[in-house]
Structure 1
Amino acid sequence: MKFSENWLRHHVPTNASRDELAATLTAIGLEVEDMTVLGESLDGVVVAQIVSAEKHPEADRLQVCQVDTGNGIVQIVCGAPNARAGLKAPLATVGANLPGGIAIKAAKLRGVESQGMLCSAKELGVDPDASGLLELPGDAPVGAKLADYLGLPDATIELKLTPNRADCFSVRGIAFDVAAALGSEVKALDAAAVPARSDSTMAVELDAGARVPRFAGRVIAGIDPAIATPSWMAERLRRSGVRPISFLVDVTQYVMLELGQPMHAFDQDTLDGPVVVRAGRAGETLKLLDGRTIALDDDFLVVSDSQGGRGARAVALGGIMGGYDTRVTDATRNVFLEAAHWIPSAIIGRSRRLGMHTDAGHRFERGVDPELPPIAIEYATRLIVDIAGGTPGALIDVVREMDMPRPQVIALRRERLARVLGVRVADTEVERILRALGLGVETTGDGWRVTAPTRRFDLAIEEDLIEEVARIHGYDRIPTTLPAGASRLVAPSETRVDEGTARRHLASRDCLEAVNYAFVDESLLAKWHATDGAVPLANPLSAELGVMRTSLLPGLVSALARNVARQQSRVRLFELGNVFAANEGGAPLETQRIAAAACGNVHGEQWSGKSQPVGFHDLKGDLESLAAVAGAALEFRAAQPAWAHPGRSADVFRDGVKLGWIGQLHPRLQRALDLDSDVIAFELDLGGLLARAVPKAGHLSRFPSVRRDLAFVLPESVTWAAVSATVRQAAGPSLRDLVLFDRYAGKGVETGFKSLAMGLILQEESRTLAEPDVDAAVAAVIAALQQQHGAVIRG
């Protein structure tokens, strides 16, 4: 929200300095993001009028102007392209000092004397426009001090508002907070009813149910179409970041900024009543004020007239933007003003669907006071009639009482307030704060009954009122006190490795932790074939963050791709976080996962060895190392999900339960993600991976172990996991460990086969193994491998 400091002071008188005002706004939660001072040091700058403008005899781009200062005629040499006879513009007289340290002196320019300087808006420090002289309205009084005429000095203040403070998207909304914080009062708004002076009216019908419970309007006939926007109004708009367009449009913008109620002005001659507020219809189109034609459906609300039948033609997109065909123009003499209450859920997300953002939509999405529409109509009517004339008709105010929001009545307990804040605030101060904020206050035995105004959508429970008292009373006045009471110490579980240990372990394996949003672009999930069960957000931050993630890998690999795009050739990332999938009832079900992704070389650049690209077994080693911390033995079974490289990925199991997946991304997916190098990744359920059995003490055997090395030739399709399981079952309880120390395929081994060399380590706890015992175990292993996998002892 951007506004003029002087405009705010008009509503809430205060002696606080500009810096004190800015500090107060930030202290009460309305963070001042930017403040620009305008028009300081303008002593000696007056409103002047160019009487004549002649070409400079020695310079093609200069003019010699005779200028009326209100106190005589002076000669000014000027190079502005818009300098002309009759123009009123600011004149810095001799002796003036302009912003930026420009001192005005009498001078000769190409031999011609100049007694001052005609100024642009940039030279005066009121606007960045330096294209020509600042043109003043024809009614500007010649000789008046420019600062007095333009209401300078001033400052534009821009606030960074939180979404719950929709009431502060107006100057008066901010004024209530400032008045409460500075001990002042907000001036009463002069919005008295304007009496009807004609029978002109427009029938209005509400056919959108609870989504539009109120619609106010008025016909004003005979407006002067040539009237210009008054300078005071235009300046307030400019300093609030709004470019003046035309008087009728500017009035609606002005009222929106001052009161917070978006409005729209229709050219009444282009409307065919009655006006109907309804849902859009499939196949219907509407040309908007910005010239775009949009397709409508029943998710949009529209204002329609009855050209071609009752409610047949859509003439405005409800709560967002007016229509092109019924807009006001420089020829408009009869206007129909509109101010409606559109509930937030009827507007949220509609602008983003159309790829647009409007001030009206921004406000309605967050909530606008339902009592404002008739007030805004009366206020705008008085401005129009006083400035541009015209004959107003009767106020139109159509209300669905059963659907109107009701003021919240909230109990605030004195003891609860003191206990939460940790300090007692005097009853008189509490009541002053609440009343200054515009809340109704009734004293009770244990505190107060507070009625929240309809503009404060954020006040619903007792804690909301406690927050209001705290921020206005001042957080700096609340003492820092440690909480009292007994704390229950919770011992870490022995049945689970804590997440911190998992993070430190992966960091020790040269991985960096990433933290990504829990919501992603649905099109990204589609590339991964991971849209099943995706939970859409009702009010996403943007279209690119529209659904909850069903997997960690899409976001993690996207982060990896961004690093690669910034010349990081070796990237190793991991993430712990929740994923979400809709259950049968549609509610999101959260699961905690761990994922990692790597590309580039196995090791960083170094002198002691050749670089080697990261492969499946490198990341598999990292995963098995992490599993070992929990005492887990993982099993890998070949798998090929849609996003995985054929033959280079596997499902990961622990004790027969599938935990997740590990492997290389499919080349097609890598191209879709703009990745040139191979990416190896894994993602597993965190709970199953980090679970561990309670450690039990045991004793070491006093008897020596025996090792036997065997080499088998097996079909390439037989996995080591299957071989390992067979060996452990066949060898019996004497087998203490099994080690795979060689894998070979090539010369001497038939195509389609491989050689696996393994070491069997045998040991008993009660005796030394005899040679027949060892031979029997080895024979059993050989027989089992031959029978189950067609293995042959390698010669």
Structure 2
Amino acid sequence: MRAPLSWLREYVDLPAGESGRDVQAKLIAAGLEVERVEQLGGDLTGPLVVGQVLTIEELEGFRKPIRFCTVDVGQANGTGEPQEIVCGARNFAVGDKVVVALPGAVLPGDFAIAERKTYGKVSRGMICSGDELGLGDDGSHGIIVLTPEHEVGTDAIELLQLVDEVLDIAVTPDRGYCLSMRGIAREAAIAYGLPLRDPALLDVPAPNAHGYPVQIADPAGCSRFTARTVTGIDAEARSPIWLQRRLQKAGMRPVSLTVDITNYVMLELGQPLHAYDRSRLDGPIGVRRAQPGEKLTTLDGTKRVLDAEDLVITDNRGPIGLAGVMGGADTEIADHGAAQSSSEVVIEAAHFDPVPVARTARRHKLTSEASKRFERGVDPQAASAAAQRTVDLLVLLAGATAEAGVTEITAPSAPRTIAVRADHPDRVAGVAYGRETVVRRLQQVGCDVYGQDELIVTVPSWRPDLTDPNDLAEEVIRLEGYENLPATLPQPPAGRGLTNRQRLHRRVGRALAGAGYTEVLNYPFFGDEALEHLGLEADDPRRSTVRVANPLSDAEPALRTTMLPGLFAALRRNDGRGEHDLALFETGLVFLPTGKEVTPARLPIDRRPTDEEIASLDAALPRQPRRAAVVLAGAREQAGWWGKGRPAGWADAVEAGRTVAREAGVELTVRQDQTAPFHPGRCAALFAVVDGTETLVGNAGELHPRVTKAFGLPERTCAMEIDLDLLERAGTGPVEAPHVSAFPVATQDVALVVDASVPAADVEAALKDGAGELLESLRLFDVFTGEQLGEGKKSLAYALRFRAADRTLTADEATAAREAAVQSAVERTGAVLRG
């Protein structure tokens, strides 16, 4: 909302020397987001005056039309003689009143005006357009042509209100009343402790049976509808300069007098209005839900197919407008001055329910100034005043006549009341405000307050956001000043800290970062397209998703069941920006529906929920296991003077899984696997012993070529995803720091020949079991296949490190441990010791 300071002063007597910056500081302290103060006309200096065109001479022989004009500027030039000006514009004629910049003036953009010779003539000034004066889009093009009543020589800077300050306010959804000068003036009056001249306090005639007929079929969607009729509108009447300038400063384009007045009143009071050409209406105005398949051409010229949930305005022909969003083209007001301009209009001031308006605007991708206000809540009590204000301005500016008929249909309603303890704001803020302060601040907001220790607060009609005691406490706190709240640190209960789950999460992040991975944070949403790109089978559990009721993007309406698509998108984005050697990781939640979720009851806000209520809330949630995932592409080790580099491969993804597992004190068992989205020959299943049972905790490997192509990833991209919650259950508790032995290590190498189908992990497990407690580490350092081994055979060479904690091992002890390890491998895997 853009609020000109000059307009704001019309409702609040701000101190004379108060600048826009000063008002900005006050409003920010009161809780409004005033993003900036725009200085209008700060770089403009005169003389800038009203002139009247006396003569126009068309100059020939130039590539474009040029006119040599004489303009009467009165005594503004010091001589009273006509001013000679060369101008290329053609939208003015002899006798028109125009805006003239005389030599010495400086226009916006540091454009100095001086006497100069051009096109064979001497030009002593400039006839100005709106763009040259910084007026923006005024709905016309070319030179500003003023109405005849303005006197020659008048100061145009003051006439056009070129110098002003405009507050640009970002209105949050709960402060819809500030989408009006009335609401902003109320906040300014409170901030300065000054009285407010409420523009909605108008004398409004009582409803009668002679107004335009209106029929409300959906009182829940339209709780109030006021209709007024105005006739005899002057077809030649134009919006006065003050009205146009206020609209322009507020960011709206002047259109025609009737439309400008409805927009002006909307900005002033916050009540959206609509004007219908009465000659184009066919029968009573109605409000109902649309019938499926009905069509409507809106004012933007788009033909729309309506939904059964759309709230529409109708006449006997059918829909003539989307209620609270945009009117229809069939009843549009014709421009003033047109061949068939609208001389009789019906003014609509209605109150529509925010929910259907918001849904209609989103459904049709049609956001308007009206819908923005209705979505946030409009004062229903202001409808009659807004209609009256519109009628008054049409009578004043367009020479119209207001018909005596007044239509007003209202649904029964009662004021909203909230019971709150007088010391509730004190307990929320930790500050002793006292009852008097609480009552005074609530009354300033517009509430009626009764009672002593227990207050009964009647909420004003323009504050639909005030619904419970905490809302009232917030009003007191913000008006007393957030800056006055003491800075106090919370006192946590003794003996508490991070949970084991939180500690594991942090250790995993540090370990992956130490291994060269960069952490990314992705939105936890994805769509069906990502599931298709992953190549998942139809019965894959990852296809069972939780859908978000109001997603940020229609393309990603579901909560993720795997973290990989988000990482793929991050890798693709970075690869597309020239970063080709990438190793990314993310830790977070996935969401796995159980099929037993139920919608929970609304929890109370005046007490702690009971254990049963918390349990019902938990039962409504899907399972949310915590996972870690990585994705790699490009070089894992860079080439340089030290030697050749190495591309990232499936083994790096497996090692990332082991890195994560080590932080939980878990040793993984790695086996070959075939599962989407991995390459069937380069996919590993990661197993750990959880609660005494070997359990699949993750997968790692190289992605399938079809997956990399579908996601736009580099060739041979690798990935890993592992369940941190399962690792926590499989772990032995906190990971102990490594112990450095004072005794030497004994190293023994062994090469075993096994069938090619035997997994190396099985051989390693057998060696470890056989070697016993003396085995410190086991490392596979060579894999060999060849004719001398025989077809279908492979040789696995291991380095075994033996060490005792209390003594130096003898050669016989190390050899015995090695032989026991080999014997175990022979018995369990059919291995043969290679000579």
TM-score if structure 1 supplies the norm length? Answer: 0.87
- 1:468/1:557 CA distance change after superposition, 3 Å: same
Quote the offset at 1:628 in angstroms.
1.3
**CA contact 1:739–1:758 (8 Å) conserved in 2:** yes
Where in structure 2 are the equivalents of 1:534-553 lying within 5 Å?
534-543=545-554, 546-553=557-564
Show the counterpart of 2:407.
396
For 1:765 and 1:28, locate their aligned partners in 2 and report how far apart those are by CA, in whole Å. 69
Quote the offset at 1:618 in angstroms.
1.1
CA-to-aligned-CA distance 1:97-153 (integer Å, 9 cap, x gap):
545555555555566454443223344343378963223334444433223322342
For 2:755 and 2:817, locate their aligned partners in 1 and report how far apart those are by CA, in whole Å. 26
Quote the offset at 1:793 in angstroms.
5.8
**CA contact 1:46–1:69 (8 Å) conserved in 2:** yes
Quote the offset at 1:431 in angstroms.
4.3
CA-to-aligned-CA distance 1:700-750 (integer Å, 9 cap, x gap):
99999784624223234x433344445556777887755433223455566
* Residue among 409, 427, 434 paired with 2:442: 434
For 2:47 and 2:814, locate their aligned partners in 1 and report how far apart those are by CA, in whole Å. 113
Residue 630 (1) aligns with residue 632 (2): no
For 2:745 and 2:22, locate their aligned partners in 1 and report how far apart those are by CA, in whole Å. 84
* Residue among 727, 746, 752 paired with 1:689: 727
- 1:605/1:417 CA distance change after superposition, 3 Å: farther
Quote the offset at 1:14 in angstroms.
0.7
SS where residue 660 of structure 1 aligns?
strand
Show the counterpart of 1:5.
5
Where in structure 2 are the equivalents of 1:376-415 lying within 5 Å?
376-388=386-398, 389-392=400-403, 394-401=405-412, 406-414=415-423
- 1:639/1:408 CA distance change after superposition, 3 Å: farther
CA-to-aligned-CA distance 1:561-616 (integer Å, 9 cap, x gap):
11111111112221222233444225443332222222110024533122322111
- 1:277/1:759 CA distance change after superposition, 3 Å: same
- 1:770/1:541 CA distance change after superposition, 3 Å: closer
* Residue among 756, 766, 769 paired with 1:715: 756
For 1:242 and 1:285, locate their aligned partners in 2 and report how far apart those are by CA, in whole Å. 28
Residue 53 (1) aligns with residue 56 (2): yes
Quote the offset at 1:316 in angstroms.
1.9
Residue 124 (1) aligns with residue 133 (2): yes
**CA contact 1:197–1:391 (8 Å) conserved in 2:** no
Residue 228 (1) aligns with residue 231 (2): no
* Residue among 653, 658, 662 paired with 2:700: 662
**CA contact 1:597–1:680 (8 Å) conserved in 2:** yes
Moved more, 604-613 or 228-237: 604-613
Q: Which runs of 5+ in 2 are unaligned?
A: 336-340, 599-619
Amino acid at match of 2:227: G
Moved more, 376-385 or 193-202: 193-202
- 1:232/1:341 CA distance change after superposition, 3 Å: same
Quote the offset at 1:302 in angstroms.
2.3
Residue 30 (1) aligns with residue 35 (2): no
Show the counterpart of 2:602.
none
Quote the offset at 1:513 in angstroms.
1.4
- 1:496/1:473 CA distance change after superposition, 3 Å: closer
CA-to-aligned-CA distance 1:350-377 (integer Å, 9 cap, x gap):
4334334322222333332333333332
**CA contact 1:266–1:328 (8 Å) conserved in 2:** yes
- 1:777/1:106 CA distance change after superposition, 3 Å: closer
For 2:306 and 2:532, locate their aligned partners in 1 and report how far apart those are by CA, in whole Å. 26
Show the counterpart of 1:454.
461
- 1:85/1:706 CA distance change after superposition, 3 Å: closer
Show the counterpart of 2:214.
203
**CA contact 1:64–1:75 (8 Å) conserved in 2:** no
Show the counterpart of 1:678.
716
SS where residue 348 of structure 1 aligns?
helix
Quote the offset at 1:633 in angstroms.
0.9
Residue 318 (1) aligns with residue 328 (2): no
- 1:170/1:519 CA distance change after superposition, 3 Å: farther
SS where residue 436 of structure 1 aligns?
helix
Q: Which runs of 5+ in 1 are unaligned?
A: 308-312
For 2:11 and 2:833, locate their aligned partners in 1 and report how far apart those are by CA, in whole Å. 95
Quote the offset at 1:545 in angstroms.
5.8
Amino acid at match of 1:121: G
Where in structure 2 are the equivalents of 1:473-488 lying within 5 Å?
473-476=480-483, 478=484, 480-483=486-489, 487-488=493-494
For 2:813 and 2:172, locate their aligned partners in 1 and report how far apart those are by CA, in whole Å. 75
For 1:405 and 1:723, locate their aligned partners in 2 and report how far apart those are by CA, in whole Å. 80
For 1:229 and 1:749, locate their aligned partners in 2 and report how far apart those are by CA, in whole Å. 99
For 2:775 and 2:275, locate their aligned partners in 1 and report how far apart those are by CA, in whole Å. 88
* Residue among 61, 80, 83 paired with 1:75: 83
For 2:799 and 2:143, locate their aligned partners in 1 and report how far apart those are by CA, in whole Å. 92
- 1:298/1:235 CA distance change after superposition, 3 Å: same
Where in structure 2 are the equivalents of 1:237-252 lying within 5 Å?
237-252=247-262
* Residue among 815, 822, 825 paired with 1:778: 822
- 1:728/1:53 CA distance change after superposition, 3 Å: same
For 1:17 and 1:185, locate their aligned partners in 2 and report how far apart those are by CA, in whole Å. 19
Show the counterpart of 1:310.
none
For 2:559 and 2:385, locate their aligned partners in 1 and report how far apart those are by CA, in whole Å. 42
Show the counterpart of 2:68.
64
CA-to-aligned-CA distance 1:389-420 (integer Å, 9 cap, x gap):
1443633333332xx58524242523x43454
CA-to-aligned-CA distance 1:188-244 (integer Å, 9 cap, x gap):
22533257899451231223x634333333344443444322322221111111112
Q: CA RMSD in A?
A: 3.7
Residue 465 (1) aligns with residue 476 (2): no
For 1:357 and 1:3, locate their aligned partners in 2 and report how far apart those are by CA, in whole Å. 21
Quote the offset at 1:181 in angstroms.
0.8
Residue 164 (1) aligns with residue 167 (2): no
**CA contact 1:344–1:367 (8 Å) conserved in 2:** yes
- 1:176/1:465 CA distance change after superposition, 3 Å: same
Where in structure 2 are the equivalents of 1:69-218 lying within 5 Å?
69-71=73-75, 72=80, 74-82=82-90, 83-94=92-103, 96-101=105-110, 104=113, 109=118, 112-127=121-136, 132-189=142-199, 190-194=201-205, 199=210, 201-207=212-218, 210-218=220-228
For 2:468 and 2:321, locate their aligned partners in 1 and report how far apart those are by CA, in whole Å. 37
Residue 342 (1) aligns with residue 352 (2): yes
Amino acid at match of 1:565: G
TM-score if structure 2 supplies the norm length? Answer: 0.83
Residue 573 (1) aligns with residue 576 (2): no
- 1:450/1:439 CA distance change after superposition, 3 Å: same
* Residue among 292, 297, 300 paired with 1:287: 297
CA-to-aligned-CA distance 1:450-483 (integer Å, 9 cap, x gap):
332232233233332333233333333x164434
Where in structure 2 are the equivalents of 1:703-782 lying within 5 Å?
707=748, 709-716=750-757, 718-725=758-765, 738-745=778-785, 748=788, 754-758=794-798, 778-782=822-826
* Residue among 500, 504, 517 paired with 2:506: 500
Moved more, 163-172 or 52-61: 52-61
- 1:101/1:763 CA distance change after superposition, 3 Å: closer
Amino acid at match of 2:127: L
- 1:597/1:408 CA distance change after superposition, 3 Å: farther
Amino acid at match of 1:373: A
For 1:255 and 1:441, locate their aligned partners in 2 and report how far apart those are by CA, in whole Å. 30
Show the counterpart of 1:595.
629
The alignment covers a number of residue pairs equal to 779
For 2:762 and 2:230, locate their aligned partners in 1 and report how far apart those are by CA, in whole Å. 87
Show the counterpart of 2:617.
none
Quote the offset at 1:776 in angstroms.
6.3
Quote the offset at 1:508 in angstroms.
0.9
SS where residue 325 of structure 1 aligns?
helix
Residue 329 (1) aligns with residue 338 (2): no
Quote the offset at 1:271 in angstroms.
3.2
For 2:238 and 2:453, locate their aligned partners in 1 and report how far apart those are by CA, in whole Å. 57
For 1:81 and 1:320, locate their aligned partners in 2 and report how far apart those are by CA, in whole Å. 38
